[in-house]
Structure 1
Amino acid sequence: MAATQRESNQAPVRADNTVADWPLKFVRHNFGAHCFDTIGCRITYAGFTHGVDSEDAVSPPLSSYRGTREQILSAGHIARKNFPPPVRVAWRSKDGVAHEQEIDIAALFPDQLIVHRVPREDIREGVSITDPDIVLEVEDRTITVYMRAFIPTKELQVPGNRYSGHRAELVRVWDRTY
């Protein structure tokens, strides 16, 4: 009964957070998945499969792409309600060893908190914070899960650039090597 009472006294999680709703929580998220240095990499989440079409298709290394990991990793499937069943990942590492794993995204975000690096006092007030991105990366034998949240800031991040009033860093949440 105490837990139920505690839950009923908490403010409901909203989809349009502002800094006044601290700590920042999310009820929906965007999702993206990327494979690097793998063979036959397939990632299935919320009914959609990311990755290659063939079990023999090779995913090139990250270094073969233009840009940094921060620039390349993105989430294109938007407004996924928290939380679909676990992500299913099947791939072969570059040495040819087969792997299959399930990653429970809900377990990585048990309190549905937005993971970011912006101090509360630096966040612009009265501006909604949108759904964060959750990005899963498979690189050879390692699976990494990141979050990226668009956090409006009080100060411009690039002086003189009026479009830089935010931060949206890619933050590593979890990783495991198999």
Structure 2
Amino acid sequence: MAMTHETTQPPSGASQPGPLTEWPLRFLRHNFGIATYAVQEYTVIYANRPYSGGPRPAREEVHPNAFHGTSAGHISIRNFPPPAVVRWTSKDGTPLEAQVDIGEIFKDELVLYEAPREEISDRTPSINPDIVMEINDRTINVYMRAFLSLKAPRFPERPHSDFRDDLVLAWSQTY
């Protein structure tokens, strides 16, 4: 039956047939967070928000899962503010400074993910990915983490493992 203006729409709570996801996956907003290792101090200004801290241990000195659990605390940033201004002191005491242009790194606004496309559900909700900047001694890495619904659980014995949220390296620079 063809839909006309007079045809009634299903109630808003009714399930909708077909895919909700448009491919390729894109994002209009993002979340931002910082992870720091092997630095004496750091200051980052991104989206008019300052981040700073004191001495941080090397990554290998913290719990092995600590970095993979890193997320973003500054949420729903409209793409893209001016570059992040990063000032830090490396492990050996060298003062360093850089501008990291998040907008240039993600200029195509495509979501980065490691799951095979055929495993991702067509009902994946809209995505505001986490962008995580890691300052590790003399290196800055920028990662993306996006929550993706899967068609089936990754581990059959764990029915709630039907998602992926991998940290995917997008950019790296050593100073």
Q: Same fold (TM over 0.5)?
A: yes
Q: Counterpart in 1 of 2:50?
A: 49
Q: Is 2:149 the counterpart of 1:152?
A: yes
Where has structure 1 moved over 6 Å in runs of 4 or more?
none
Provide Cα deviations, 1:28-61, integer angstroms capped at 9, x if missing partner: 0010012110012111111212231xxxx31111
Gaps of 5+ in 2: 1-18
TM-score by length of 2: 0.84
Q: Is 2:117 the counterpart of 1:120?
A: yes
How many Å separate the matches in 2 of 1:66 and 1:118? 25
Q: Counterpart in 1 of 2:92?
A: 95
Q: Counterpart in 1 of 2:65?
A: 68
Provide Cα deviations, 1:148-169, integer angstroms capped at 9, x if missing partner: 1111110101212222110111
How many Å separate the matches in 2 of 1:66 and 1:20? 36
Partner amino acid, structure 1, of 2:124: V
Q: Is 2:59 the counterpart of 1:58?
A: no
State the Cα RMSD in Å: 1.6
Alignment CA distance shift 1:63-1:139 (3 Å)? same
Q: How many residues matched?
A: 157
Q: CA deviation at 1:19?
A: 6.6
With 116-125 and 145-154 compared, the bigger mean Cα shift is at 116-125
Q: Is the 8 A contact 1:129 1:150 kept in 2?
A: no
3-state DSSP class of the match of 1:58?
A: coil
Q: Counterpart in 1 of 2:107?
A: 110
Q: Is the 8 A contact 2:129 2:145 kept in 1?
A: yes
Q: Is 2:80 the counterpart of 1:80?
A: no
Q: CA deviation at 1:68?
A: 2.3
Q: CA deviation at 1:127?
A: 3.1
The percentage of counterpart residues that share the same residue type is 39
Gaps of 5+ in 1: 1-17
How many Å separate the matches in 2 of 1:153 and 1:85? 34
3-state DSSP class of the match of 1:21?
A: coil
How many Å separate the matches in 1 of 2:142 and 2:108? 16
Partner amino acid, structure 2, of 1:46: A
Partner amino acid, structure 2, of 1:97: T
Looking at CA atoms only, which structure, 1 or 2, has the larger radius of gyration? 2
TM-score by length of 1: 0.82
The structure carrying a bigger helix percent of its residues is 1
How many Å separate the matches in 2 of 1:110 and 1:43? 21
